[in-house]
Amino acid sequence: MVTDAASCAPGGPVRLTAYSHGAGCACKLSPTELGQVMAGLTPARSPDLIVGREHGDDALVWRRPDGRALVATIDVFTPIVDDAATWGRIAAVNAGSDVFAMGGRPLFGLAFAAWPRERLPLTLLTEVLEAGQAAANDGGWVVAGGHTIDGAEPLYGQAVVGELDPERMLRNTQGRPGDTLVLTKPLGTGLVTTAVKRRPPEAHGPGGELAGAYAAAVAEMTRSNGDAAQAALACGTRAGTDVTGFGLLNHLREVLLASGVAARLDAAAVPRLPGVADLLARGEVPGGTQRNLAHVRDHLELAAGVDEGQLVVLADAQTSGGLLLAVPARAAAVDLVAQLTDGGHTAAVIGELTDGPSATIQIVA
């Protein structure tokens, strides 16, 4: 086994993020590129396919003869943090998130990994896989197989299969004017993890300038969306998605396009991770976040007072982000936020769906 001198502090631990070109969900193709690729793909058809990829939903849903349905998704990404076990946990929580974002319960998963075997110790890969299995167990599913290849960059993730009641799903198509928008995690993981990656390790170690922001980001990225999804279903929610690499604005826009509605967002109400304001002040914006904002900018209507920094946060590429939910009754949304807050989530009412020009997002300061 050999490790890259360039990627290690002298005598220090391996920095996994030094082996990846783009971190976490920010390594996705941009929304523009994915749209081009998908436009050229023949749609899949089957009488049992209840949800396919036509509305960019989080997972496919497959009808079973007993009236229940299977839900299946895959998520694989590059290291978002340097620590192997933390990365494994984040990637597994993120892989299960799309099942929760459809209102499902994960049953089992298959792990996929790529590993630069000449450059990184295999023991680290075992750590990643073990942490991913443990996170899956905590989330209620088992990982009992997978596939591993030699690759130029480390990659890890899971395909996860779950089940749901097709009458009680969270779909992109079910948003209605008047629904209240709830977000269940703070934004800023892209800004924080990119800053951590660019600085020496001491910056996010004990007492470092990014220590608080990093700890908060890891706590959010390793937080399951399972509770929030169950609570949302229980209060009558039928529309939602998870906020990942395309940022809140683009994931919201997928819901708007699929539902044929518009939205009003209260930028000041959107929760942020600690440390984000400092990074914005220094202009430290990840490339993926800039691409996300460029993709959606033409569809924004900005009220007086909305500044560029707020837009950057709203477009920031999230890894293992929270749920964006469209809750039919305002009072139910307020109760949902209170319930989630009591359970340790940082959730907030952030706006509403409207009958404005289709798929337009009006942003107020």
Ligand X SMILES: Nc1ncnc2c1ncn2[C@@H]1O[C@H](COP(=O)(O)OP(=O)(O)OP(=O)(O)O)[C@@H](O)[C@H]1O
Kindly list the distances between the CA atom of residue 276 and the CA atoms of 212, 223, 251, in Å, as whole numbers in the listed order: 11, 19, 20
Cα separation of 361 and 340, whole Å? 26
Cα separation of 197 and 192, whole Å? 9
Cα separation of 139 and 160, whole Å? 11
Strand partners, 110: 159
Q: Is 147 annotated as a binding residue?
A: yes
Nearest CB to ligand X, comparing residues 95 and 124: 95
Which residues are the active-site residues? 25
Strands of 361-364's sheet in order across? 239-242, 323-327, 180-183, 348-354, 262-266, 361-364, 300-302
**Site residues (CB under 6 A) for ligand X, limited to 270-309:** none
State in angstroms the smallest separation of the CB of 49 from ligand X. 12
Q: Is 222 annotated as a binding residue?
A: no
Q: Is 165 annotated as a binding residue?
A: no
Identify the residue among 56, 103, 186, 190 touching ligand X (CB under 6 A). Answer: 56
Nearest to 106 by CA among 144, 78, 77: 144
- For position 244 contacting ligand X by CB under 6 A, the verdict is yes
Q: Is 55 annotated as a binding residue?
A: yes
57 binds, among ligand X, Mg ion, none (CB under 5 to 8 A by kind): ligand X
Angle at 140 between CA 134 and CA 142, to 5 degrees: 60
- For position 190 contacting ligand X by CB under 6 A, the verdict is no
Strand partners, 74: 159
Q: Which stretch binds Mg ion (CB under 5 A): 2-10, 50-58, 223-231, 326-334?
A: 50-58
- For position 316 contacting ligand X by CB under 6 A, the verdict is no
3-state helix, strand and coil shares in percent for the chain, rounded to the nearest 5: 40, 25, 35
Nearest CB to ligand X, comparing residues 38 and 219: 38
Identify the residue among 1, 32, 33, 53 touching ligand X (CB under 6 A). Answer: 53
Q: Is 299 annotated as a binding residue?
A: no
Kindly list the distances between the CA atom of residue 304 and the CA atoms of 164, 308, 364, in Å, as whole numbers in the listed order: 43, 12, 7
**Site residues (CB under 5 A) for Mg ion, limited to 231-270:** 242
Nearest to 54 by CA among 67, 42, 69, 66: 42
Nearest CB to ligand X, comparing residues 194 and 241: 241
> For ligand X, which residue has the nearest CB?
244
Q: Is 335 annotated as a binding residue?
A: no
Phi, psi of 123 (to 5 degrees): -60, -30
State in angstroms the smallest separation of the CB of 4 from Mg ion. 33
- For position 98 contacting Mg ion by CB under 5 A, the verdict is yes
- Where do we find the tokens 């709830």? 182
Lookup: tokens for 203: 């910056």
- For position 58 contacting ligand X by CB under 6 A, the verdict is yes
Q: Which stretch binds ligand X (CB under 6 A): 136-144, 240-248, 303-311, 324-332?
A: 240-248
Identify the residue among 16, 23, 31, 58 touching Mg ion (CB under 5 A). Answer: 58
Cα separation of 263 and 352, whole Å? 6
Q: Is 247 annotated as a binding residue?
A: no
- For position 220 contacting Mg ion by CB under 5 A, the verdict is no
Q: Is 148 annotated as a binding residue?
A: yes
Going by the DSSP 8-state scheme, the letter that residue 171 receives in this structure is B
State in angstroms the smallest separation of the CB of 155 from ligand X. 14
CB 29 within 8 A of CB 56: no
- For position 250 contacting ligand X by CB under 6 A, the verdict is no
State in angstroms the smallest separation of the CB of 75 from ligand X. 4
Annotated binding site: 28, 55-58, 75, 98, 146-148, 242
Annotated binding site for Mg(2+): 58, 98, 242
Where along the sequence are the contacts to ligand X (CB under 6 A)?
25, 34, 38, 53, 56-58, 73, 75, 98, 242, 244-245
Annotated binding site for ATP: 28, 55-57, 75, 98, 146-148
